Amino acid sequence: EDAAEESNVSAELIAHRKRLVDEWNAWRARCKEEVAEELGVGQEPSGRQEEERE
């Protein structure tokens, strides 16, 4: 029973962490678009370089 509870807790924790990672990655993706936009649409190649450098 304890083991079942433990695995249940860790499943919750894993789900929580997955949510945090998904939120972060979604925010980073939005950010990268905004950075590319700020650098200028005409300068898209440099925007790409920017991402590669990371």
Closest CB to other proteins among residues 8, 22 = 22
> Can you give the binding site for other proteins, defined by CB under 8 A?
14, 17-18, 20-21, 24-25, 27-29, 31-32, 34-35, 38-39, 50-51, 53-54
The rounded distance, in Å, linking the Cα atoms of 19 and 13 is 10
Least distance (Å) between residue 36 CB and other proteins = 9
Q: Which is nearer to other proteins, 8 or 17 (CB)?
A: 17
**Distances in whole angstroms, Cα of residue 21 to Cα of each of 4, 9, 12, 18, 27:** 26, 18, 14, 5, 10
